[in-house]
């Protein structure tokens, strides 16, 4: 299987290429500059692997939720590449990517509550459970103030994502335990690939025109009443 994944939904800009059992990846963390770096990263990966875009089985992208600009960037670049190469697309949740990273780090972890910083005093969050080694949704993706976050289970749930770094009281209030370092986890293209493989194998892919972002938060600005 040959898959290319890219993600720009958060501070982490990443691209990864799967060629059979070989995984190549590039990433850097920055508050800005994703648009300037992503295409060169993709070109470098394809050149290193000696693979043409048209030879890929599908393109994979982080469809959000995350930064509005970042999510739109990943979707638009994926659309452009998919149209140019006539390739199908797989859209993967950025919250699921963080959950997958956590489950990979700890093979004994079964349930993860992912909370990513959504700015504006809110977090994007969703529960995930391990199924056949992959992060499967345990509930809907939501955006809310940290005080509204609750784990559906009383015990045994780990927390992961930058929301826990942004709001230090969130773990105790939500009823989860955040392992050391998991409060710094961000989505990565390589984790998108892990989640995309079974989708491609099952033929659950989209056309380029359907490579659309998922924002979860519908309102980004409120008009002043004064």
Model confidence pLDDT, tens digit, residues 162-216: 999 999 999 999 999 999 999 999 999 999 999 999 999 999 999 999 999 999 9
Q: Domains, the chain, ranges and CATH?
A: 2-93+187-210 (3.30.420.40), 95-184 (3.30.420.40)
pLDDT at residue 221, as a whole number = 41
> Which residues does the chain have with pLDDT short of 70?
154, 218-226
Q: At 144, give phi and psi (nearest 5°).
A: -165, 170
Burial class (CB in 10 A: 0-12, 13-18, 19+), 89: buried
d(CA 109, CA 99): 10
Could you give the 3-state DSSP secondary structure of residue 53?
Answer: helix
Tell me the pTM: 0.93
From residue 110, how far is each of 38, 128, 164, 191, 220 by CA, in Å?
A: 33, 8, 19, 17, 34
pLDDT at residue 154, as a whole number = 64
Bond preceding residue 79 cis, omega within 30 of 0: no
Q: Angle, to 10 degrees, between the axis of helix 94-105 and the axis of helix 189-201?
A: 100
């Amino acid at each position: 299987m040959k898959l290319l994944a890219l993600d720009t939904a958060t501070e982490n800009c990443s691209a990864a290429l799967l060629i059979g059992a070989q995984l190549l990846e590039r990433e850097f963390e920055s508050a800005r500059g994703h648009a300037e770096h992503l295409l060169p990263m993709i070109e470098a990966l394809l050149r290193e692997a000696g693979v043409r875009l048209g030879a890929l089985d599908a393109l994979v992208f982080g469809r959000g939720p995350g930064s509005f600009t970042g999510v739109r960037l990943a979707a638009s670049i994926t659309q452009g590449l998919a149209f140019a190469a006539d390739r199908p697309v797989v859209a993967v949740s950025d919250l699921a990517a963080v959950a997958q990273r956590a489950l990979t780090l700890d093979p004994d972890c079964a349930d993860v509550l992912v909370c990513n910083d959504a700015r504006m005093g809110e977090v994007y969050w969703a529960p995930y459970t391990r199924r056949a080694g992959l992060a499967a949704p345990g509930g809907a993706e939501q955006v809310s103030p940290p005080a509204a976050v609750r784990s559906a289970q009383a015990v045994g749930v780990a927390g992961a994502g930058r929301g826990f770094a942004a709001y230090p009281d969130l773990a105790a209030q939500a009823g989860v335990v955040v392992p050391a370092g998991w409060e710094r986890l961000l989505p990565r293209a390589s984790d998108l690939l892990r989640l995309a493989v079974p989708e491609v194998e099952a033929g659950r892919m989209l056309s380029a025109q359907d490579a659309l972002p998922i924002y979860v938060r519908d309102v980004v600005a409120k008009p002043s009443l004064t």
